[in-house]
Structure 1
Amino acid sequence: MSTPHNKASSLGSHALLTTLALTMGQAYAADAPENCDTADKECDTQVIELIKVHGVRYSIYDVKKSGDVRRLADLVDTPQTITVLTKDQIEESGKTDLKEILAAQAGVTLGTGENGNAFGDRYIIRGHEARSDVFVDGLRDPGMTTRESFATEQVEITKGPSSTFAGRGSSGGAVNSITKKASTAYDFGRVDASIGTDNHHRLVLDYNTPLTENFATRINVLSTEEDAPNRDGISRSRQGLLLSGLYDNIDDLRVYTDFYYLKAEDTPDLGSYFDSASRKPVKDIPVYAQDEDFLDSDVVALTLRTEYDISDSLKFFNSTRYGETSNGYLSTGARGTVRADEDPFAPGADTISLSTHQGWQEVEYFATQFNLIWEVSTGSIDHKLLFGLEFTDEEVDNGVYNIAYNNDTNCFTSGRRGVSPAYCLINAQGEVYQNASNIIGRTFEKGDSDALFSAQTLAAYVMDTATINDHWQVFFGLRQDTIDYSNDVVSRGSELDYAYKDDFYNGHLGVVYSITDDANVYATYSTATNINGGESDLGANCGYGGLCGDPDQAAMADPETVENIEFGTKWSVLDEKLFIAAAWFQLTKYDVMESVGDAYSTLGTLNTGKNRVDGIELAMNGNITEQLSVQISAAKMNSEVLDSVEQSNVGLELSNFAGDSLYMQLRYQLNDKFAFGGDFTHKGEMYGGQPDTAASYDSTNSQYSIVVPSYNVVNLFANYTVSESTTLRLNLGNVTDTEYWTAAYRSGAFMYLGDARSAKATLTYEF
């Protein structure tokens, strides 16, 4: 066995760490030598040689298996669209927060929050909210928070309903991050140090060491700060830690422990706003964030994972996690308006008024999941059976801050309540006020809770991956969830106690027909269920996924149900180095809970909506040649409201839905020392409105009210191997300096800005 130093040089600066924490058995088991025990040192050398052949010299863009132990088939034989992003792809793209990683992908867009809710990341997959459908190593990661990739080995985006795996939610899909893990097989260290424009600096340490033959530990440390490109005063800071330990008795038992911590401190930016006169977002809007603005997240999670091989055909897995997050924000909004005629400085003049958006959230959760995998044959049929039991307990406390406005107002504007004093960004001369970051002068203290969400869920599921013969494979899954839900809400001065219990069932049936050993076609049917009030951050705000109706109505409401039909084909070509997939899907959501105000007192039901998303999705990832790596995903989709309590909504598109989207990342290894590449993101035009319902529409002018323009963004990178232990990478973000917007609030009052041009240089040292 070669020394760790020689091993690193033979694999190159990136491939080593990628393959280590992916674990050999999961990522490349299909290619491993027969009877190869991945805990055996001699076997490690054989697997490493396979990886060198399997991937381009320094990076891996192809993974054959999911990191979720419950997905027993190879990805090529899984009857569902799953996009897997490797650690190498993520690093070379220059993206770090999970939000920006996902936002670039086809079929995924971002959403905004009610009243500027800026707790954390919000994703929309195939037109449906997925902000609560985020998982880490197969366990739900509840609450709204900032998520970083420094401790992530790969990101898996499941497209289409997947409640058999995920439980409640997952209407359009789910996101699962696989964390880095300790290994007894390697002793290595790596430091990534970055500097760049906009005061960017980032330091990441990854160190794994075996303590004995049976024990190992791994530490990942993050420290990074930067300003938003071309937005002075908008800042981001992340401090993170992942401590991972492993006990491996080599024969049959492995126990992992993880402690994760992240502290994120940002000055938030609600971006621009939609100008109804020009029907475009306002360009080049000045920075208007105030000195006291903040967006803070503190995340702590402790995880224990146990893997036990009862026999060659029977394996037991348990994952147990306890976590707490504390989130809070105070942010400033901006909208175009005019000074009132009563304004003493510039009556009737155009200006930009400032507003306050704020809230806090505390999350405490416990989850444990038991899985038993049994490989058995019945006659000529080989089964991989999975029996699972899961319990989760989530407590989410939401509230607001008590705000004091210490500076005098500087303008008068007109609104629904008549003429009132306000804070304006633009002075009487049409220029931005001096000391624009201190116009309002707020102080604040934490106020009372206004929504205490609680949900205990017990779930049982069974899945079977059955190989009928050389051509046919069937996947079947069935899951039951029993939920005990409560939410104590303060709404318009009244205290409302919501509580109900419910059982719901979901299933998944997929059939795969292998045309050849390397090509197949498949058909799949899957379902999902959304409960009333399933979004934990919104109390009784029905329009954004909170509770609908009063407590009695809410308890009687039916859950929203989603059905997905998908036909596709998957190909593994070029000696299994390149993966190609194509799929057509139709996703229909029934019993959609709509916000219709007092009308429910006469309607007597909350489930008045129905919508549909259909389209095609194409994917390609892996290695076209020994020098050229690629990851491409493209989606062409249509959305339509099929039924609504407001008949004028029927036929409209869903809000924040991009019908066309494309992501392409290329990498070319010119020689042993130099590689270069880049990525390209295209998102089609979108329209603002409430999530999961019709986009806002102006029937008078027969046009959508809020338009998010389509956009194209290009990023470039280049890698240079300085020595066997040192690599230099340069990333250029948004090289054309395109101004673009990623999402719109339902009124157009704010539209999130994408990052402007940036440059970063990263030095990687392995030891």
Structure 2
Amino acid sequence: MRTTSNARRVPVAKPAFLALSCVGAFASGAAFAADGPNPAAADDTSAQDREDVLVTGQREMTPKQVATPVNTPKSIVVLPKEVIEQTGSASLADALRTVPGITFGAAEGGNPIGDRPFIRGFDSQGSTFVDGVRDLAAQTREVFAVEEIQVVRGSDSTLGGRGGAGGSINIISKLPTDRTFVTASASYGTADYKRATIDANYKLTDTIAFRIEGMWHDQDVAGRDAIWQRRWGVAPSITLGLGTDTRMTLSYYHLTSHELPDSGIPYFYTIGNAPGTGIVYSAPLVGKGTTIGGTTGVVDRSTFYGLKSRDFRDADTDQITIRAEHDFGTLTLRNTSRFSHNTQAYIYTQPDDQQGNVFGTSATPPATGSAAALRGDLVTGGYVWRRANTRYGYTDNITNQTDLYGSFDTGSIKHSISIGAELSWEKARRGTFVTRGYLNSTGTEILSTGSTVGPRCNTATVSRYYCTSLFNPNPNDPWVNYASDTSTVGAPIVKTLPIEETQNDAETRSLYAFDSITLLPSLILNLGARYDHFKSTVTPGQPMAATRTYQLSRTDDLFNWQAGLVFKPTPETSLYASYATAATPPNSLLGEGSETNALGTPTSDAAYNTALAVLNSLKIEKTRSYELGAKANLMGGRLSLNAAAFQTDTDNARVTGPNNTVEFLGKRRIRGVEVNASGQILPGWTIFGGYTHLDPKIVDGGFTALAVAGAAAGTVALVPSVNTGKQATQTARDSFTMWTTVEPVKGFSIGGGAFYTSRVFGGYSDNRSAALTNGVITVTPATKVLYRTIPGYWRFDARASYRFSRQVELSVNVQNLTDKTYFNQAYTAHYASIAPGRSAFGTLTVKY
């Protein structure tokens, strides 16, 4: 996750203005840095916008950022490295929990494990960038080489291209600077937490600097049984021409991760066994529970349903970036080229898979002598099926961006502009782990996990450890992979054949332009437009018996734009109104995430013809954002306050139409308000956080096809989707975060964080049914609607540190101070991810 140096020759500015670190369209708020007045208040020009640079870190804004935060008509948050370090964050997910309005979705059956942030109710997994370059592959990202994280909220395809319906995340890398320093830290704590990092920058000559970051991390997970994580990374970079008009930087980033992935806790009910009528909430069971058969037990927060003998996750990330740039007076020409290669392989347990084993499907065992009794079916509840989700694959990306940016005047009107072009090629290829030679009913090779047995749990599957106890699972069970669910012969776990692997390819050609136009000292017009030519191709994996492959391809032309008007009552305050669009074309994630608008994966002539018909009808999902806001830099620029009210509308969502065909009539609407504060309240007292309230609604979820009892096979009745009118999934209505640090005496500081997230829903279902009676199809209304959900929660963290000298500091972090049991990710069905328990670790930091 890194790129090249942003170092450039700049005039020296006063510390507080530099600390504010303008990041324009990607930034908001003051950084946690030195005190001092803000010279921008005296003369707020676009040229100064462009030169707001953190000199102590030699980091400037990206080319598309054409205005300071206070002059940018967008809701944006910058998470500085100081907050990342103070909160003890070690991953992107850790860091983003400090930003209100962001929730995380759990991995799905077809969704690879990795970061899956939701911004304003929209999945932003495919809208994550590193130094402005898309970082598509499914990853669990680290922060050891991260300078700051910029979160853009609202439709922003103009900035980044396809996707970005709810916003995007831009990760800024640590790169060479113009001074020599070394910072090293070592941490140790509970749950066998161990972490070491180093950040060394060497100024080799007046114009050459070299920087390297390194990290080693090893831990168990507090409050969770058996789970562990290990990783290491290194990120060297070198800049030539530092401080001159012509500069070149070469950088490399590598991260290797190994872990036992967490299975989470299954939801307690399915729509088929949920008790009662009306709305029934189905949450994961933690604590005491009673099954339908009357068995009572306790599910501890540490309960792990996976298998140490089977489950694993290995991932590698490699990125090479070359950036060259030259200043032509007030304009700069920059070219950035990046190659990235990401690999991931895993087998992880997805508990229960909606089979009804947890709560049970019958209060009594099967009747003696029945087929179910002879099989030993376990139907009274208290069991969990250990479904195995498997995947291996890689993602390659080559991107080249050319940007011309800077400032100039046309008469009395000032312009801060950026124009550019982007070319990118992406390829994602994936397969699964299988038992060679065994095909299930759909012609797919799978692991032997009981997936061909119905119901999933009986005495035989329990004896093979395919199913385990709800209340007392054993992750050390000696699971064996057999040649099939009924075979007694062991078989190796191997990868699918090359012909069985699915490949996605994409090519993007883009042009974009931005202009921040200062019409008057108090009036700024912000404009942006982008055109993308996006071609996507999928080559589905074929069964072993297939003799040829199929291919589906589609090309979309995307045009997006944004416009905003900023009124400045004073140089350090602004009121703004803005409009922006986003476009998500079919197959935009290339199989690297959960995507409802995929091209299809046919494996036969008939399936190909069907997929081709759907392909020709696919539409681009379009999103529009409207926003009103206010911003202010107070106390000489040391404190930033922002507030916004907004609405985001999405059209053309892919759903089932009234004729049981794929149609693009789905709609979502997200309304909300948010406030943010960051910076210094008083000398020695800093804050970072805010509050977000959302009204996330599925306006039109399309239709659901019900199988008709008593009718010919394939006969369906179309009814409005249960999702229509419901709260958008994976999205919290209310979220609050606040991190604050106080230095009561010189050298000693104490800090803490409070984080709140309201209830989140994973998915919905109901029990409507249809039957054919006397030639008439009758739909029986639902008597209950199941809401799969995780409850809201408060979490508190604390930190204390003592600085012995300018070179040595000792700190102690306590995370989840009250040992709160809560869930941080909700899956559509099946399960939810449980958060770690209380942990503590100390960190010794040495600088010179």
TM over 0.5: yes
- Cα distance in structure 1, aligned partners of 2:846 and 2:750: 19
What corresponds to 2:561 in structure 1?
A: 507
The answer as to 2:614 corresponding to 1:561 is: no
CA contact (8 A) 2:351 2:385 kept: yes
What corresponds to 1:16 in structure 2?
A: none
1:164-203 matched pairs, under 5 angstroms: 164-183=158-177, 185-203=178-196
Deviations 1:631-664 (A, max 9, x none): 1121000011222322343311111110111111
**1:262 counterpart (255, 264, 272):** 255
The answer as to 2:551 corresponding to 1:479 is: no
- Cα distance in structure 2, aligned partners of 1:27 and 1:173: 33
What corresponds to 2:397 in structure 1?
A: 365
Query: Following TM superposition, by how much is the alpha carbon of 1:728 offset from its aligned partner in structure 2, in angstroms?
Result: 0.5
What corresponds to 2:690 in structure 1?
A: 633
CA contact (8 A) 1:108 1:124 kept: yes
Q: Which amino acid aligns with 1:655?
A: T
Q: Which runs of 5+ in 2 are unaligned?
A: 19-30, 39-53, 275-280, 287-299, 366-371, 439-445, 483-491, 602-609, 704-719, 769-781
Q: Which amino acid aligns with 1:656?
A: Q
- SS of the aligned residue for 2:725 comes to coil
Deviations 1:95-119 (A, max 9, x none): 1111222244211111123317443
**2:791 counterpart (701, 706, 709):** 709
Change (3 A) 1:411 1:573: closer
**2:588 counterpart (525, 531, 534):** 534
Q: Which amino acid aligns with 2:692?
A: A
Change (3 A) 1:81 1:753: same
What corresponds to 1:516 in structure 2?
A: 570
What corresponds to 1:658 in structure 2?
A: 732
Length-normalised TM-score, structure 1: 0.86
- SS of the aligned residue for 2:305 comes to coil
- Cα distance in structure 1, aligned partners of 2:406 and 2:501: 47
The answer as to 2:839 corresponding to 1:758 is: yes
1:212-227 matched pairs, under 5 angstroms: 212-227=205-220
The answer as to 2:283 corresponding to 1:280 is: yes
Q: Which amino acid aligns with 1:586?
A: Q
1:48-87 matched pairs, under 5 angstroms: 51-53=34-36, 67-87=61-81
1:68-467 matched pairs, under 5 angstroms: 68-115=62-109, 117-183=111-177, 185-248=178-241, 250-276=243-269, 277=274, 279-283=282-286, 284=300, 286-291=303-308, 292-311=310-329, 313-335=330-352, 336-337=357-358, 338=360, 341-342=373-374, 344=376, 348=380, 350-403=382-435, 414-415=454-455, 421-422=461-462, 423-424=464-465, 432=472, 436-440=476-480, 443-448=492-497, 449-467=500-518
Query: In terms of mean alpha carbon deviation, does 570-579 or 329-338 score higher?
Result: 329-338
What corresponds to 1:617 in structure 2?
A: 674
Query: Following TM superposition, by how much is the alpha carbon of 1:606 offset from its aligned partner in structure 2, in angstroms?
Result: 3.3
Q: Which amino acid aligns with 1:301?
A: Q
Length-normalised TM-score, structure 2: 0.79
Query: Following TM superposition, by how much is the alpha carbon of 1:70 offset from its aligned partner in structure 2, in angstroms?
Result: 1.6
CA RMSD of aligned residues (A): 3.3
**1:543 counterpart (576, 580, 596):** 596
Q: Which amino acid aligns with 2:494?
A: E
Q: Which runs of 5+ in 1 are unaligned?
A: 1-20, 35-47, 690-694
Deviations 1:452-493 (A, max 9, x none): 111110000111110011110011001100112111124889
Q: Which amino acid aligns with 2:762?
A: G
Query: Following TM superposition, by how much is the alpha carbon of 1:520 offset from its aligned partner in structure 2, in angstroms?
Result: 1.1
Deviations 1:365-384 (A, max 9, x none): 10011110142222221111
CA contact (8 A) 1:63 1:86 kept: no
CA contact (8 A) 1:566 1:583 kept: yes
Change (3 A) 1:411 1:532: closer
CA contact (8 A) 1:542 1:593 kept: no
Q: Which amino acid aligns with 1:94?
A: G
CA contact (8 A) 1:117 1:358 kept: no
- Cα distance in structure 2, aligned partners of 1:512 and 1:563: 19
Deviations 1:348-407 (A, max 9, x none): 462223221111120111001111014222222111121110011100002111148999
- Cα distance in structure 2, aligned partners of 1:698 and 1:92: 49
The answer as to 2:729 corresponding to 1:680 is: no
Change (3 A) 1:603 1:480: farther
Change (3 A) 1:460 1:738: same
Larger Cα-atom Rg: 2
- Cα distance in structure 2, aligned partners of 1:232 and 1:280: 20
- Cα distance in structure 1, aligned partners of 2:823 and 2:204: 49
Query: Following TM superposition, by how much is the alpha carbon of 1:25 offset from its aligned partner in structure 2, in angstroms?
Result: 7.9
Q: Which amino acid aligns with 1:251?
A: T
CA contact (8 A) 2:654 2:665 kept: yes
Q: Which amino acid aligns with 1:740?
A: Y
- Cα distance in structure 1, aligned partners of 2:567 and 2:475: 66
CA contact (8 A) 2:552 2:599 kept: no
Query: Following TM superposition, by how much is the alpha carbon of 1:314 offset from its aligned partner in structure 2, in angstroms?
Result: 1.5
Query: In terms of mean alpha carbon deviation, does 483-492 or 243-252 score higher?
Result: 483-492
- Cα distance in structure 2, aligned partners of 1:348 and 1:665: 47
Query: In terms of mean alpha carbon deviation, does 483-492 or 623-632 score higher?
Result: 483-492
Change (3 A) 1:467 1:64: farther
- Cα distance in structure 2, aligned partners of 1:352 and 1:377: 68
Query: Following TM superposition, by how much is the alpha carbon of 1:289 offset from its aligned partner in structure 2, in angstroms?
Result: 2.3
- SS of the aligned residue for 1:114 comes to coil
- Cα distance in structure 2, aligned partners of 1:542 and 1:289: 26
- Cα distance in structure 2, aligned partners of 1:408 and 1:130: 34
Query: Following TM superposition, by how much is the alpha carbon of 1:214 offset from its aligned partner in structure 2, in angstroms?
Result: 1.4
Query: Following TM superposition, by how much is the alpha carbon of 1:437 offset from its aligned partner in structure 2, in angstroms?
Result: 4.2
The answer as to 2:543 corresponding to 1:470 is: no
Query: Following TM superposition, by how much is the alpha carbon of 1:675 offset from its aligned partner in structure 2, in angstroms?
Result: 0.4
How many residues end up aligned between the 2 structures?
715
Query: In terms of mean alpha carbon deviation, does 288-297 or 710-719 score higher?
Result: 288-297
CA contact (8 A) 2:512 2:531 kept: yes
Q: Which amino acid aligns with 2:799?
A: F
Deviations 1:487-533 (A, max 9, x none): 11248898542101121100000110001122110000000000111
- SS of the aligned residue for 1:705 comes to strand
Percent identity over paired residues: 25
Deviations 1:598-627 (A, max 9, x none): x79x56653120111010011000000002
What corresponds to 1:13 in structure 2?
A: none
- Cα distance in structure 1, aligned partners of 2:690 and 2:12: 22
Change (3 A) 1:310 1:624: same
The answer as to 2:744 corresponding to 1:670 is: yes
